[in-house]
Amino acid sequence: MAKIKWKLIGLLVFGLGFLLGFQNPANASLGLETSRISGVRQIDTAIEVSKIGWQQADTVLLANCDHFPDALVAAPLSHKLDAPILLTPASGVDAKVLQEIKRLGAKKVILLGGEAALTPKVVSDIRNAGLGEPERIAGYDQFETAQKVAERVGAQGKIILVSGEQFPDALSISAYAGTTQTPILLTSAKKMPETTRQAINSLQEKGDLKTIVIGGEAVVSSASLSSVKDVQRIFGNDRYETASNVYEFARDTLIARTTYLVTGENFPDALAAGGLAAKQRAGIVMAQRTTLPGSTYAVLSKPTDVPTKVVIVGGLAVLTDNVKGILEGTVQPDFLLAGLTIVIDPGHGGPDTGAIGPAGTYEKRNNLAIGLSIAGLLRSAGAQVIMTRSTDVTPAEGTYSELSDLQARVKIANDQNADLYISLHNDAFSNPDVGGITTYYSSASPVTDESKDLATSIQSELVKAVSLNSRGVKDAAFYVIKNTKMPAVLVEIGFISNPTEEQLLGTPDFIQKAALGVYQGILRYKGY
């Protein structure tokens, strides 16, 4: 036992934590200023967006109102040309759209997409309105159209790659892509289209190219990225968390005090938002029709130097007044953990395997799987979650050593002022029959009583959830729970040295139950 206790000492906390105190989270409210941009139809909403963003424009981008990819890759071109994005049916140009083009005094109309998206009738309508011959940027499909738009924008050592089969991820990155004039290319979930692959290969041959991938494995698989050299992936457990993570990623670029809130359930009303947000250097977050997802609430809860104004894009059928009330603080959300920042700390990683089971199982993998599952549950309850690691890495910088690793973890944890700290491990012992769950707190902690209460709550709920033997709540001077300033616990979820528990630890059912047990323990600690 002694030779493996080093693994209990602690883990790095890094990220974006913020201190909101130990108030009852049910009483937390955003209190944000709001306004709304909307029209009867998605076409009308795009016109209203144009009116707010542009008094005059030499060029207008025109896309299909019922087909999202062409409009969503347009934000970088919109910013480059200072051109609003307007929408129209495939069958012809809507009369109100023609009025808006004339109001803007536009001399040029660029059509995005082929004749299936915008028919020859669209071209004739533009000619007959005295607007001249429109330019068309189009390919065989949405993937080739995106590639041609990207060529028109011009890549400067960086591109963005998103799903061409779903709209949310492209929408979430559109403001950043526009402001930085970074081209957006489209791909499929399992296999990259040849058009996109050739475009990326060509850019990589010209020099260093960074590819920012938006979305997780379900929308852009790692296998499809085998030929892409320098990849940064931004993703979350769902479209709302992905959008929130993109929002955080882009904070230093999108510096306006305005944030645009769009629907994550349907695309039309949000199609034109990327161009306006890019023009104003404003971020984009997503909501459901009747409420804010926990991840969106959490990211909007983060204090800023100036208050954030939220502009709701779409009418009441798209985003209801209940959403508006939550933003303004007049309606309390159903998020049990709103306003809390919680550190989830999957033990070990990288060269540090942790304990190794008799069948060769690595502790570090078990810890990460349970940690990711806990993080998803907490975010859905409105908590701001900091993962000390979300892949198989060690958080230590420079030459790895246990001491530097531990010092860095504690320092950053305290600097971030997180509200709770949960470190996840598997136990091990020379006797393979020993098993069960133990939760540790430290009497040397500056918040001993709170840490003990947290440990007691998690131990009780976790044992019930997974039906393993309870080894109790224990006091130990492990480094991370001794030196962190917030309530902190270290949870030993089963014995990896026990063959039965080792097998359990790797099953999806056990991972889900263990995550739910820790989550319910946190709820119990907070009084729910």
Cβ atoms 333, 296 nearer than 8 A: no
For residues 240 and 457, give the distance between their C-alpha atoms in angstroms, rounded to a whole number: 30
Maximum alpha-carbon separation in the chain: 87
Same domain, 103 and 215: yes
3-class state of residue 148 by DSSP = helix
Residues 168 and 198 in one domain: yes
Of 285, 311, 328, the residue at which a domain comes to its end is 328
Regarding whether 347 and 411 lie in a shared domain, the answer is yes
For residue 414, the model assigns a pLDDT of 85
297, 326 Cβ separation under 8 angstroms: yes
The catalytic site residues sit at 492
Measured CA distances, 455 to 80, 354, 376, 441, 461 (Å):
54, 22, 21, 6, 10
Give the pair of three-digit tokens for residue 513: 């139950």
- Helices 363-380 and 508-525 cross at an angle (nearest 10°) of 50
- The CA distance from 275 to 260, in Å, is 11
266 with 349, same domain?
no
Backbone Cα Rg of the chain:
26
Full domain range(s) for residue 355 = 2-26+337-525
- Do 342 and 247 sit in the same domain of this protein? no
**Nearest alpha carbon to residue 241 among 377, 101, 42:** 377
Of the CA atoms within 13 Å of residue 397, those in its CB half-sphere come to 7
CA distance 413 to 126: 59
Give the list of residues 6+ apart from residue 259 with CB closer than 8 angstroms, or none.
Answer: 247, 282, 283, 284, 285, 300, 308, 309, 310, 311
Per-residue pLDDT tens listing for the chain (528 residues): 333 332 322 322 223 232 222 233 333 468 899 999 998 988 999 999 999 999 999 999 999 988 878 888 999 999 999 999 999 999 999 999 999 999 999 999 999 999 999 999 999 999 999 999 999 999 999 999 999 999 999 988 999 999 988 888 989 999 999 999 999 999 999 899 999 999 999 999 998 899 999 998 889 999 999 999 999 999 887 898 899 899 989 999 999 999 999 998 887 677 778 899 999 999 999 999 999 887 888 788 776 666 689 999 999 999 999 999 999 988 877 777 888 989 999 988 888 899 999 999 999 999 999 999 999 888 878 888 888 888 898 888 888 888 887 877 787 788 888 999 999 999 999 999 999 999 999 999 999 999 999 999 999 999 999 999 999 999 999 998 999 999 999 999 999 999 999 999 999 889 989 998 999 899 889 877
How far is 74 from 145, CA to CA, in rounded Å? 10
- My answer on whether 280 and 212 are in the same domain is yes
pTM over 0.75: no
Distance CA 96, CA 227 (A): 46
Q: Which residues pair with 349 in a beta bridge?
A: 352
Through-space distance between the first and last CA atoms of the chain, rounded to whole angstroms: 36
3-class SS at 234? Answer: strand
Distance of alpha carbon 338 from alpha carbon 293, whole angstroms: 11
Distance CA 174, CA 154 (A): 16
We report the CATH number of the domain holding residue 9 as: 3.40.630.40
Q: What is the DSSP letter of 359?
A: T
Judge if 54 and 6 occupy the same domain. Answer: no
C-alpha dist (Å) from residue 238 to 54, 234, 320, 462:
33, 12, 21, 25
Contacts of 67 (CB under 8 A, 6+ apart): 90, 113, 117, 142
Q: What is the DSSP letter of 39?
A: -
Segments of 476-524 assigned E as strands: 488-495
Report CA-CA distances (Å) from 520 to 66, 375, 464: 43, 13, 10
Backbone angles phi, psi at 388, to 5 degrees: -65, -25
One domain, residues 316 and 460: no
Three-state DSSP class for residue 72: helix
| Domain shared by 192 and 296, yes or no | yes
Q: Please tell me whether residues 89 and 15 are part of one structural domain.
A: no
Q: How many domains does the chain have?
A: 2
The pLDDT score that the predictor gives to residue 211 is 95
Beta-carbon count within 10 A of 190 CB: 10
Asked if 278 and 351 sit in the same domain, the reply is no
Q: Of 328, 347, 369, which residue is a domain's last?
A: 328
166 and 190 belong to one structural domain: yes
* Residue at which a domain ends, from 328, 359, 394: 328
